[in-house]
Structure 1
Amino acid sequence: MFARSYFGNIIQHKDDWQHGDYPLKADIFKIAPSNNYLVTSSSGAVYSADVSMNYIGSLPCGSDSFSDVEFSSGGNIIYAGVKTMRAIYMFDYESLN
């Protein structure tokens, strides 16, 4: 769980109730512009961005891993940079549900 200030700074946080069950890493931790989900870790783990912080799933990457993620302005498209090659994968958030 976390809370952000008006300027986007994280001002409150705590461990998720599933702590240790799914990937959760600070090196990639991006909140979608819609504020309803976030993507974390090089495996592309997706969580709801609310008090429950429920695990939604992972971006399919096979044996690859991600170096960074960004979102479309509405947050429905996820762009994920691939570490092992010059590639950007695109995912539709709705297809993860």
Structure 2
Amino acid sequence: MTIAQRLAQTDPGAHGALLLHSCLPVSEFGERWPEGVPVQIHGMEGDEFFDEDLPSARELAASTPVAELFVYPGDAHLFTDRSLAAYDAAASALLLDRVQQFLTTV
């Protein structure tokens, strides 16, 4: 379960959500994504775990104009974790730039 997604969908005070490496169907926590709550979804295209979530991520991204889906080349799951062999410096840097831009808007 992605705690960030649950909080964004169920807490009326949520200002935005960053979903890294995972995205559940919106129906897990409600009928639709909350209006006006921006969300970014980030994952790698060949990540066996994110591949399972990709249909839900695409559906969420298509359901609201305040959603962005970023799919990075590669197959690592936790590619942003420097302590793991899966770490991808280039993808992590791009993700960080996108997250910083996102945070200036929420």
Point out the structure with the larger strand share: 1
Which is bigger in relative contact order (C-alpha 8 A, separation at least 6)? 2
Q: Which protein has the bigger helix share?
A: 2
With normalisation by structure 2, the TM-score equals: 0.29
Q: Scaled by the length of structure 1, what TM-score is found?
A: 0.30
